[in-house]
Chains A and B, each alone.
Chain A
């Protein structure tokens, strides 16, 4: 990827370098506050824009789905939330996230009901849209983000720096850049505060769990990660990494069985607590589970840059196979994909290896599992952002293509302006003056040319997608081409990160390893 390289002002007659106000000796707490405020400001600014399905009757979009869930959870008894009843038409945005999501909807519904009851009135509120209700709905996402994702990010950065996860090569003041990279993640900001979803909660809980692992609070981590799974089942993408890492750590301790039992107890306890209203009968539980795994919707939807969708140009998976063999195939492929990273963590768990493993296992789910959305790229993007100090090029590269893979969605939501602004802001912070973490890549010009080819294509397609009408025979030609570009990049990325994770063992880093092999 041909990045605009910063001039390093080699000539000595140039003026002295600019002293950035947030660099030491700035107070760390005030600086963290500054970064958080700026991240919050960006979110608030994006939230002024349109949301998915704005004014698009009769089906609307994710905004309406969330509003509808608030309406359902507020007015129906718990037992009816996941059942088709006269008040709950499952075909119209039926609830398909685990119970914690439903509780969150209920909480937000109560808050909105206190001031704007029309927004969440049963049945009559379908497709309800007003400037005030938009503001209130936006505020529910903003407050969730502020209360879950922000503290988790701060905790993570604190744990990361305290433990020296990335090794001795990283500067102490790198934490500011890392925090900014984690908080100002353009994809997350656009999807949550533009498109309208609550990924900040499940990702924030996962991030909290990761911070828990890094700071050796395994039990808290297990509880937080269980909550994340119970908010969005997609958090399972990280499960192999958590399982492998925690298992590997337990096996190295004095009483491995006891340690595993403790963790298992916490996980089961958390699940039981969340699922309590549905545990009364087998049938009720199965009803919820069947809602969470919508196999009938097919192996992929729209144009998601994963294996099944990209290869379907050559092999018509949906036509050739029934749902059942497809399920099995995708399951096997996913397991094969995350197995190397899983085995590595069981064998030699380390904090850095854990972060790589999170990235690899979530990538394997994104690429091979059943029913993946284009928005699921947020999940691999989270561990990639955590590795930003260690793998700055990878993160910049990945963020760009992850955002590009959602470009058709962004265009549909009319968030193009926000897309440009947030992408610009991200790369400005990425290349901020004073951030020397992004060094030039030492590769041959041939490799550079190969890397910059997809970049040029993607820039071209940004314009083509907007300006040129696709041929009538292939109305989704450009969507498919965007998908191909992104898929190729994602495959290269995950091969690289798998390789890096395995290399951690072969080339043990000399510094800061002693603490991590607990």
Chain B
């Protein structure tokens, strides 16, 4: 086609620029307390020496990310005094901030997305040195979940995902050392990605160190170890020097948080609760004396008392073991046949395991596997089907984050536009592919139209509409102000079904095909 004369990288930059315009328009929208968190961190890292970063408690939003993120905050704060001196003054002023103030912080997020763009540009070529479809790259850059969480709710996931994708790019291209180092840098920016560490470890050990003789393997092991240790030293050495390691770790791993976040992430534990509720109800009906647990599910802090009436209490150790258990098939596969072309899938699967079975999981963590999976969304018909479902479910599960009326049409339209883009792009991709195959095979005129959605997933997705309609319209009519948490629970449970399916699909795919 003569019309499509733009090179893939031009087109990708174009898509990013369009997304940036949308990000600009999102500046005046709602922001959560995360905005205050990052505002404080900006001021903290700018105004105080590193010695006090993990000690200062002048705000309730204490720094609880690893040092690289603090350095990153410091970098973003460099230009801040030029805009508004109150941006970097401590204690953070409580007065409503000026519009340059807001604009500056929003722009730091848009600016840090440049790393995501760079990684996506690098990922335009896949592990087999083939061109990735442009749509797969656009699906990352235009992800509605990323827009909602970063540019409305306010976080820096674009930067973190950029780092993760960068490391995946290096691994795909066989540059294992760079990939390992990039992943170490990611861990030092946000420790939640630790969940992917086992896959990285196994893969790098087998693919980078093994199979080249003992001496060379050992040398490589040392090299990789040195690289990773160097990164960790860059991050933690200053604080070790200050003797603040214990303080730092108590900030990074705050114990005493409950199994659930304030809003239930749509994962395995949602079903555990529901099962507990049902069992309690049934047993009570049968005449057993079941105590109603005092701890509430809807509070973030549960403390020591078990929130379950019948089922055994879940401890962090249980969740840790479950995550490792769920990951085992993938680790075995990565150990037995480490191939760069599967690395995105394995890392995404590890993140899904963490999301499904982890302790105190945030709903936002679903980004960690949805975004990388977008890159391989068009590898096969099954992938297309799976990603179509997963991306809609994961974005929909983030809807409760933006709860104000003003953002309602924005989140709905973001999701609808994205789904339509997938619909248009996937169906045209599939029909172009089948046309090409037909030409190749010179088949006898039997056109098998490849539908990218099956009946079940179509029905499931229309259920999303029903849930949304219920929580927006009918819930108020039926219950009035009672049971305000019911719509949220319905969203969690319903999305939990989709997430469970996605997790199992990924597991099966990995077991069968890698």
Contact = CB atoms under 8 A, between A and B. Distances in A.
Interface stretch (A12-20, A160-168, A364-372, A479-487): A12-20
Given A21-B138, A48-B25, A428 B7 contact: no
A432 B28 contact: no
Contact of B4 (A23, A37, A431): A23
Given A34-B420, A41-B414, A131-B406, A436 B2 contact: yes
Contacts of A19: 4, 133-135, 429, 432
B17 A428 contact: yes
A7 B431 CA distance: 29
Given A18-B134, A21-B134, A420-B24, A26 B424 contact: yes
Contacts of B421: 21-22, 34
A238 B373 CA distance: 52
A424 B53 CA distance: 39
Contacts of A45: 22, 25-26, 410
A432 B28 CA distance: 27
B427 interface: yes
Nearest to B429: A21
Chain A CB count within 10 A is highest, among B133, B409, B424, for B424
Nearest to A432: B14
Chain B CB count within 10 A is highest, among A7, A25, A33, A422, for A25
Contacts of B2: 436
Query: For chain B, what secondary structure do more than half of its interface residues adopt (helix, strand, loop), or is it mixed?
Result: helix
B17 A17 contact: no
Contacts of A420: 24
Nearest to A433: B6
Contacts of B253: none
A37 B424 contact: no
A23 B427 CA distance: 11
A45 B152 CA distance: 12
B4 A17 contact: yes
A421 B21 contact: yes
B296 interface: no
Nearest to A173: B3
Contacts of B429: 19, 21
Interface string B121-161: 00010000001011100100000000000000000000000
Contacts of A37: 413, 416-417, 420
B250 interface: no
Contacts of A434: 1, 3-6, 11
B423 interface: yes
Given A25-B435, A37-B413, A432-B14, A132 B134 contact: no
A165 to B, nearest CB: 19
Contacts of A9: 5-7
B95 to A, nearest CB: 18
A23 B24 CA distance: 27
Interface string A206-247: 000000000000000000000000000000000000000000
A50 to B, nearest CB: 8
Nearest to A171: B3
Interface string B424-439: 1101110110010000
Interface string A43-54: 011101100000
A18 B28 contact: no
B316 interface: no
B432 A21 contact: no
B425 A22 contact: yes
A33 B420 contact: yes
A44 B413 contact: yes
Given A20-B11, A27-B428, A434-B5, 5 more contacts: A9-B6, A22-B424, A48-B29, A48-B406, A132-B405
Interface of B: 1-8, 10-12, 14, 17-18, 20-22, 24-29, 103, 124, 131, 133-135, 138, 405-406, 409-410, 413-414, 416-417, 420-421, 423-425, 427-429, 431-432, 435
| The 4 nearest A-B residue pairs measured at CB | A21-B425, A433-B6, A45-B25, A26-B428
